[in-house]
Amino acid sequence: MAAARTKEQEQPLLPIRSGSSKKGKKSTPPNDEPSAIDVITSLVVLVLVILGGVYFKRHCWKRIFGPFDPVEYTVAIAAVSGLDPGTDLHPRPATFLDPAFNLTLCVASPSTALRRECIKPGTIVEVSYLRSRVPLAAGTAPAFCVEVGEERVEGSVIVWGYGVRLPGFVLDSLAADMRRGTAEFGVKLTDPVPYCAAERTTPFRCHTGGSIRSSRYIRVLSCWAKIGGGPAPCSVSFETASFPVLRAGTGRDSSASLLPQPTL
């Protein structure tokens, strides 16, 4: 018995492993290579991003970040009546003219303009002779708006004058220019000044005491065109317009004293 116990004690203790291990079977490493679908999807997304960036740069960049291009205004004098040098422009002691002008107004907005542009209702159109700048005719322009990237031509804008009297030297100069076909006229479009009641204080600074007047900056388009000479470009400026303010309850007066009076 003692000898058997001695042999058992001399035998080494082997580790006990749970489960059975299968011989000849190795673990495969994970496959990190992208599939063909992943490659195609990535290429499509990349192409779309590039095309979107090019489109944004060409069509949206300037609209958001500028610089913005100005809107172009042109005026053409299609026809004139009442200024015939043979019948209307004779230097008589009392020569009164009744001229009428047929104008064509064009507003062209580039695709890089800041916003839509409008000719407001009640915009005043005034035509004067270049050499004297004496007003010959007046009227109102039709109201319309032009969206960014669009163009609109408004024909048959008629303005006229009644009983216009010119100094003798101006009449002679106008008659000579009309005979030669070189007469040039100034066309001026002035934005209307909004109605301002006496009790209002903003934004037109109306006053209730003393001389009731108000002032604000208004847009003025100035063009110089010849009869049948094609579209003439217009310059845009802003002038301070002083105008009388109507008291509440009196209504509007259409007399010339209530028209805007731009001051340089």
- The per-residue pLDDT for range 92-143, each reduced to its tens digit, is 766 789 999 999 999 999 988 888 999 999 999 999 998 888 889 999 999 9
Q: Cα–Cα distance between 49 and 38 in angstroms, integer?
A: 17
155 — phi, psi (to 5°)? Answer: -95, 170
Summarize pLDDT for 154-173 with one digit per residue, the tens.
988 999 999 998 888 899 99
**Residue 218 CB neighbours (<10 A):** 21
What pLDDT does 33 receive?
Answer: 74
Higher pLDDT, 184 or 193: 184
Model pLDDT, residue 112: 80
More confident residue, 175 or 60: 175
Q: What is the pLDDT of residues 205-216, one digit of tens each?
A: 444 344 444 456
Q: Distances from the Cα of 154 to the Cαs of 105, 106, 158, in angstroms?
A: 5, 6, 11
Q: Please report the pLDDT score of residue 152 as a whole number.
A: 95
Query: What CA–CA distance (Å, rounded) separates 243 from 248?
Result: 16
Predicted local distance difference test score (pLDDT) of residue 64: 67
CB atoms within 10 A of CB 255: 7
Return the pLDDT at 98: 94
Residue with tokens 């470009």: 233
DSSP state of 201: -
User: Within 56-187, where are the H helices?
Assistant: 61-65, 168-180
pLDDT at 83 over 90: yes
Domain containing 132 — which CATH number? Answer: 2.60.40
pTM above 0.75, yes or no: no
Per the domain annotation, does 172 fall within a domain?
yes
pLDDT for 35: 80
Could you say which DSSP state residue 244 is in?
E
Q: Are strands 124-129 and 261-263 parallel, antiparallel or unpaired?
A: unpaired
Better pLDDT: 40 or 242? 40
Is residue 51 assigned to a domain? no
Give how far the C-alpha of residue 66 lies from the chain's centroid of Cα atoms, to the nearest Å. Answer: 13
| 229 lies in some domain | yes
The DSSP secondary-structure symbol of 58 reads I
Q: Which spans in the chain are helix H? A: 2-10, 36-55, 61-65, 168-180
- pLDDT at site 246: 42
Q: What is the pLDDT of residue 15?
A: 55
Top-confidence residue, 37 or 199: 37
Q: What is the mean pLDDT of residues 6-14?
A: 55
Main-chain dihedrals φ then ψ at residue 64, nearest 5 degrees:
-95, -45
Region 219-237: mean pLDDT is 93
Is 105 a member of any domain?
A: yes
**Residue 191, amino acid:** D
Report the distance separating Cα 103 and Cα 189, nearest Å: 12
Total domains present in the chain: 1
Q: For residue 225, what are the domain limits? A: 72-193+219-239
Tokens of 103: 């104008």
